[in-house]
Structure 1
């Protein structure tokens, strides 16, 4: 990942109200710079949305997932104060390449909806100024913070459903599951395209009933075009150690190819396209 250089810090104006809520991101940008806490950016091809993507990783996350491979994004104060204009200008350097590769721009994290105004501004400008396909990568836990305007500027939501069993979900994330499910239903009501992402962790999320529960729920929504079954890995363990944290899954094996294929099969039996 390539880290953006921070501009001078700017703090948002206090207050708000109906008039402030009605203002569009573009209008807000003409008044004063919209500033957020950015961890880094990268060009990515894989699970960040279709094609080659300009991915902006924001700092701050309310979840503490046991298998998180970017625990250095958890604290917003550890990011760099950066204007939306600077991020969009950086993405603009790659628009021809991204367009040729059938890609777009993704706002990830951390948890982007911890910074909904900044996230909304990025998505709006990626879409309307650069003409890029836009994606929001989120756990859904803070889905209530996503305004209708933000979602209108989002072409695709990458929604992490980390477990169907509520006790397992809380063990994995430290948070309850229901806000994510509520957000998923809202996206379905809006007919917003969703890719569900499910991390397969042996001994933690791989119980057949757990996988089947996620699959059955996703199948009811009608807007899930793809399921990414992501094999657990330990590539982020060194970051945990560098932060002085204990990586609780140190002794957990990575799933075998057969286990991954079996999990994909569960989603497919519910009529979903799984990769």
Structure 2
């Protein structure tokens, strides 16, 4: 089957989207509208470049030796890759045939029978939880929190390996009591092997301007080291491994 997918861009030697050297595929389209998104140019489902599975696989295979040597693999991110679950499923199958590990970076908002099949062929889920307070989550993303928590439950039931990601934005996602609530909630998920606390940055601000979108965090500063360490400490006390 030579199914097609819409792709924003690819990165041949990524090192931050999973273990080892990664071939990172940024899929086009996303149902969330996160205030701190640094890739708002991936939102529109009608943009991007159409790739066939053959075309993308021919690019991936060029870096197979680097991925295998480093314990890396392919990461599908976005945007929201699971909006194109059929394509991700086909690519995952092809990667597995080549012995290449697969990771999916997702908000956990999209779920379907096809997504369930994708997770069965995925070695690692990078799950982005934007906040644990439902009202704040909705304010930050424009969608509800509940689907993401259900998605997390599914990964636990299927024993899918998860790395959690939390973007720390002063004045927006630094609500400490909510963070403590999230840390307590995550104690029930032995499949979570790591959490990354990602300090807010403005590297994508210029994209908002170029696209004519209202950027609400213009005056927001990056979190200081003290706040970052406080949040990391909350998760460590709960027994959750925190990336340095």
- Give the TM interval when normalised to the shorter protein: over 0.9
* Residues 67/146 of structure 1: CA separation in 2 closer, same or farther (3 Å cut): farther
How far, CA to CA, are the matches of 1:49 and 1:55 in structure 2?
Answer: 10
Matched, 1:165 2:118: no
| Structure 2 unpaired stretches of 5+ | none
Aligned length: 243
Structure 1 partner of 2:62: 93
Matched, 1:42 2:18: no
TM superposition shift of 1:145: 5.2
Query: Which deviates more from structure 2 when the two are superposed, residues 146-155 or residues 34-43?
Result: 146-155
Structure 1 partner of 2:108: 140
After superposition, residues 1-275 of structure 1 pair within 5 angstroms as 29=1, 33-128=2-97, 130-144=98-112, 146-275=114-243
Structure index of larger Rg: 1
Conserved 8 A contact 2:82-2:115: no
Conserved 8 A contact 1:62-1:111: yes
Conserved 8 A contact 1:157-1:194: yes
Conserved 8 A contact 1:107-1:123: no
Conserved 8 A contact 1:143-1:180: no
Structure 2 partner of 1:16: none
CA RMSD of aligned residues (A): 1.1
| Structure 1 unpaired stretches of 5+ | 1-28
Structure 2 partner of 1:26: none
Query: Which deviates more from structure 2 when the two are superposed, residues 175-184 or residues 260-269?
Result: 260-269
TM superposition shift of 1:144: 3.3
Q: Which runs of 4+ in 1 moved over 4 A?
A: none
Deviations 1:233-275 (A, max 9, x none): 0000000011011211010110011211111111111100012
> TM-score, normalization: structure 2?
0.96
How far, CA to CA, are the matches of 1:271 and 1:144 in structure 2?
Answer: 32
Q: Secondary structure at the match of 1:81?
A: strand
How far, CA to CA, are the matches of 1:199 and 1:184 in structure 2?
Answer: 17
How far, CA to CA, are the matches of 2:208 and 2:235 in structure 1?
Answer: 32
